[in-house]
Structure 1
Amino acid sequence: MTLKRNLMSTAVGFGLAAGLASAAMAEEITIATVNNGDMVRMQKLSPQWEEATGNTINWVVLEENVLRQNVTTDISTGGGQYDVMTIGTYEAPIWGNNDWLVSLNEGMAEDWNADDLLPAIRGGLTVDGTLYAAPFYGESSMVMYRTDLMEAAGLEMPDAPTWTQIREAAAAMTDRDADINGICARGKAGWGENMAFLTAMSNSFGARWFDMDWKAQFDSPEWKETIDFYLGMMNESGPAGAANNGFNENLTLFQQGKCGMWIDATVAASFVTGADSTVADKVGFALAPDNGLGKRGNWLWAWSLAIPASSEKQDIAKDFISWATGQSYTALVAGEEGWANVPPGTRTSLYENADYLAAAPFAQMTLDSINSADPSNPSVQEVPYTGVQFVAIPEFSGIATQTGQQFSDALAGNQTADEALANAQSIVTEEMEAAGY
């Protein structure tokens, strides 16, 4: 009990120093965020910051695709609707380069410590030495699997599986009568939903979005192999209605014991082993699969907090971001909900913390997955872009959302793989030519 109080006192005290000056002139800031579990927890704990500073928060909590649409529209038009936005590694460098975001190089809390951020995560949020967003949690992707179902199938999951091993294990674990699907994976259309999964997967099959002349590559044999394999595996062993399932839907299925395996964000590890999971004590972890070509199908991402240049409350926004992405918030979560539930993947110090390493059996696999992603060389073949599960160009969100719809339709049985690939090729070619590539 004393430890919990001390951790909470530390966390609340962190905001006091920065907040005393502003407490006399309390302000309300508006924060847009995604409805993922870690952000819901941040919202739940935010009254501690409000009490310490005297300021209040107007929360706008949205589903992932809707959040992206809203904040993109607001920032590109200078709408000024939000003081803090939850954005990703895709948006941060593009928006920072457009002068749409406030630099976080100065004005953060004294003990916030940017040097503690993991280099791979910090690098993705930085342009020419300027940090434009503070990572709330960082992630790659990995395999989460049911150890009991693997054992019952007479199989053993390697630490570094191949796609063939994954598909065979999925088939062996599938039991339609018991409502157990061997594999759960994203099928919901969206550049950050199914296309994040499929782009990362395609890298390991040797596919790429563009060749060195920016020509679309969906008519390549590598993309055909990727989509044929994905659809075949999901049709054999995936859940009904998979074309509607994104991160949150698959998380629920896994927690309910309806997935033998789930390949998705490393940040999900604390939720599949947490109190809401019916299979918490039966979960193992492995690296995202490869196809024997030298690249794994894992991504690199951070959900981060950023301040739009249109905000009129930038100092208060920086104070909140310092609190929410600092080490004292980590201590607060640890005190409230245990070390296994702290936001992962952002700070070196967390992976040197013995309490965290003891509480989180997935910690090393998460760090290894993050470190194995290479945004500069994401695919087996040479590419003209950076980004692992996305292409870091402004046009990507639009073309990938349209492309994602094609593959979601194919998964739903509304068109064939060949039709989806042909449509994707046509969409991307047309949009890129219109953009002047």
Structure 2
Amino acid sequence: MLTGCSSQDDAPPEKKSIRVLMVDNPQMLELKKLTAEHFTKRTGIKVSFTTLPENEVRKEVHSDFATQSGRYDVATISNFETRDFAAHGWLRPLDSFITRDRSFDQSDILLPMQLSLSGADGKVYAEPFYGESSFLMYRKDVFEDLGLKMPKKPTWGQVAELAERADRPEKGMSGICLRGQPGWGEMTAPLTTVVNTFGGTWFDKNWNAKLTDPAFADAAQFYVDLVRDHGEDAPEKAGYAGCLRNMKRGKSAMWYDATAGAGPLEADGSPVKGKIGYVPAPIEETSSSGWLYTWAWGIQKASKQPRSAWEFMSWASSKEYEELVGREIGWANVPAGKRQSTFKQPAYKEAAGAFDDATEKAILEADPRKPGVQKRPTLGIQFVGIPEFTGLGDSVSQELSAAIKGEQSVGSALRKSQLEAQRIGAKYKRR
């Protein structure tokens, strides 16, 4: 596999070293530790890593790739950036590498991941390191004690009723935990999936802003009411990490969030291991509503070591690497959610048996081309795939967080937000 792209046409020889910029999450730090012994030793390709927190790595990647400085050969990008970066010509298409490197097995990559990492021209521009969707997690033991039954495919209306019945503030347990912390990657992510399934959208296919339309307004009001009435304490401060802590400490009966949250809940030593049930993201008007997210590898167009860069990416996203992590660190730590074969791997199924089927189903049902009931102007489920969405998502979530705190109404928050969305939509209408 590692020599599958070692001779492309009559290209000049490359240096046996590449520079990789990546987010400093635990699974990528494990990759960094394994690279010298298991990649460089075999290929002779030295890899120099720069690791940064998520917000910082996004800024650094954008700056370096936009200027095509060539400082980094490979960087972690998400499916949020991929199509935009490809449209600007900042990424190298990967199709020729994929064709030559058949052992990489592109067909094994889950289709929603392939779609979300392709450009408008249909070419592949990034390969996933791991992927996630979203689902509803709930305490099976608490539901049994209270005589509650979780539907196999719940609606948000049913979830609200269950949250009310499971809410036991006298025992320090909220009915549900939902992100209320401002941020386009925090509260805006789950909120947008609620908007989608309630029939709303940020923009219609012609870039008309729709934040004050009834469907968007109803979804936002529902979300704010649910988290205020039956959510965690100080929800305006709670993001992914906070809700994860609440579930592990027995402070929430339900949690709607990323499928990645299941791993820590089921890890050895977790006080709730074996006590959690997993069902699809709640729906209303759509057949599914889970989001789609992946950290992936992209090659900067200006890289002078593209073949060496691909060899690294091919290894880091391969079946071989997953098996290495399983042997060296444990199958619960495998960067999963990107390959069909992972969900069929017996050792992985044993380690992730509580949630692997639910995770695979959530990812396969996620469709970035059609996340709601109407056509959209660009790809994206829990986000709108344009650079301006980071600022828009941040500001809208700040306004709605203020509504959660009771400082203003949801209607007021959305009227302010609509004006900003209209300005962004107008820019794209002129293109």
Amino acid at match of 2:265: V
Residue 10 of structure 1 corresponds to which residue in structure 2?
none
Residue 58 of structure 1 corresponds to which residue in structure 2?
49
Matches of 2:239 and 2:69 in 1, distance apart?
29
Residue 186 of structure 1 corresponds to which residue in structure 2?
179
Matches of 2:34 and 2:246 in 1, distance apart?
27
- SS of match in other structure, 2:95: coil
Matches of 2:422 and 2:168 in 1, distance apart?
42
What is the root-mean-square deviation in Å for CA atoms of aligned residues?
2.6
Deviations 1:355-411 (A, max 9, x none): 333432212211221222222222123434332212233433332233232223323
In the TM superposition, 1:249-328 aligns within 5 A as: 249-275=242-268, 277-291=270-284, 293-328=285-320
Matches of 2:409 and 2:24 in 1, distance apart?
33
Matches of 1:25 and 1:72 in 2, distance apart?
25
Amino acid at match of 2:34: L
Instruction: Please say if 1:201 is aligned against 2:194.
Output: yes
- SS of match in other structure, 1:294: coil
The correspondence for 1:41, drawn from 13, 30, 39, is: 30
Instruction: Please say if 1:348 is aligned against 2:340.
Output: yes
In the TM superposition, 1:146-161 aligns within 5 A as: 146-161=139-154
In the TM superposition, 1:60-139 aligns within 5 A as: 60-62=51-53, 64-107=54-97, 111-127=103-119, 128-139=121-132
Matches of 1:179 and 1:256 in 2, distance apart?
10
Deviations 1:58-81 (A, max 9, x none): 23131x333333322332233444
Shift of 1:52: 4.1
- Aligned residues: percent identity? 35
Tell me if the contact between 1:256 and 1:277 (Cα under 8 Å) persists in the aligned partners. no
Shift of 1:300: 1.8
Shift of 1:40: 3.8
Q: Compared with structure 1, are the counterparts of its residues 245 and 52 closer, same or farther at alpha carbon in structure 2 (3 Å cutoff)? A: farther
- SS of match in other structure, 1:111: helix
Residue 338 of structure 1 corresponds to which residue in structure 2?
330
- SS of match in other structure, 1:46: helix
Matches of 1:98 and 1:277 in 2, distance apart?
45
The correspondence for 1:392, drawn from 378, 385, 389, is: 385
Q: Compared with structure 1, are the counterparts of its residues 379 and 332 closer, same or farther at alpha carbon in structure 2 (3 Å cutoff)? A: same
Q: Compared with structure 1, are the counterparts of its residues 44 and 226 closer, same or farther at alpha carbon in structure 2 (3 Å cutoff)? A: farther
Deviations 1:117-171 (A, max 9, x none): 1122112112234211111112211011111121122112122111122122223
Tell me if the contact between 2:16 and 2:308 (Cα under 8 Å) persists in the aligned partners. no
> TM-score, normalised to structure 2's length?
0.88
Residue 173 of structure 1 corresponds to which residue in structure 2?
166
Amino acid at match of 2:390: S
- SS of match in other structure, 1:29: strand
Aligned residues: 417
Q: Compared with structure 1, are the counterparts of its residues 212 and 322 closer, same or farther at alpha carbon in structure 2 (3 Å cutoff)? A: closer
- SS of match in other structure, 1:106: helix
Amino acid at match of 1:67: V
Matches of 1:33 and 1:174 in 2, distance apart?
37
Matches of 2:344 and 2:351 in 1, distance apart?
13
- SS of match in other structure, 1:321: helix
- SS of match in other structure, 1:197: helix
Instruction: Please say if 1:229 is aligned against 2:213.
Output: no
Q: Compared with structure 1, are the counterparts of its residues 106 and 132 closer, same or farther at alpha carbon in structure 2 (3 Å cutoff)? A: same
**Unmatched segments (≥5 aa) in structure 2:** 7-13
Residue 359 of structure 2 corresponds to which residue in structure 1?
366
Matches of 2:30 and 2:253 in 1, distance apart?
27
Q: Compared with structure 1, are the counterparts of its residues 45 and 380 closer, same or farther at alpha carbon in structure 2 (3 Å cutoff)? A: same
Q: Compared with structure 1, are the counterparts of its residues 318 and 252 closer, same or farther at alpha carbon in structure 2 (3 Å cutoff)? A: farther
Deviations 1:156-212 (A, max 9, x none): 212211112212222333333443332222223222322221111111111111234
**Unmatched segments (≥5 aa) in structure 1:** 1-13
Matches of 1:177 and 1:229 in 2, distance apart?
24
Q: Compared with structure 1, are the counterparts of its residues 273 and 400 closer, same or farther at alpha carbon in structure 2 (3 Å cutoff)? A: same
Shift of 1:28: 5.5
Tell me if the contact between 2:152 and 2:279 (Cα under 8 Å) persists in the aligned partners. yes
- SS of match in other structure, 1:59: strand
Residue 233 of structure 2 corresponds to which residue in structure 1?
240
Matches of 2:175 and 2:24 in 1, distance apart?
28
Amino acid at match of 1:59: T
Tell me if the contact between 2:19 and 2:71 (Cα under 8 Å) persists in the aligned partners. no
Tell me if the contact between 1:203 and 1:296 (Cα under 8 Å) persists in the aligned partners. no
Residue 9 of structure 2 corresponds to which residue in structure 1?
none
Comparing 214-223 with 404-413, greater Cα deviation is found at 404-413
Tell me if the contact between 2:110 and 2:364 (Cα under 8 Å) persists in the aligned partners. no
- SS of match in other structure, 1:371: helix
- SS of match in other structure, 1:296: coil
Tell me if the contact between 1:403 and 1:427 (Cα under 8 Å) persists in the aligned partners. no
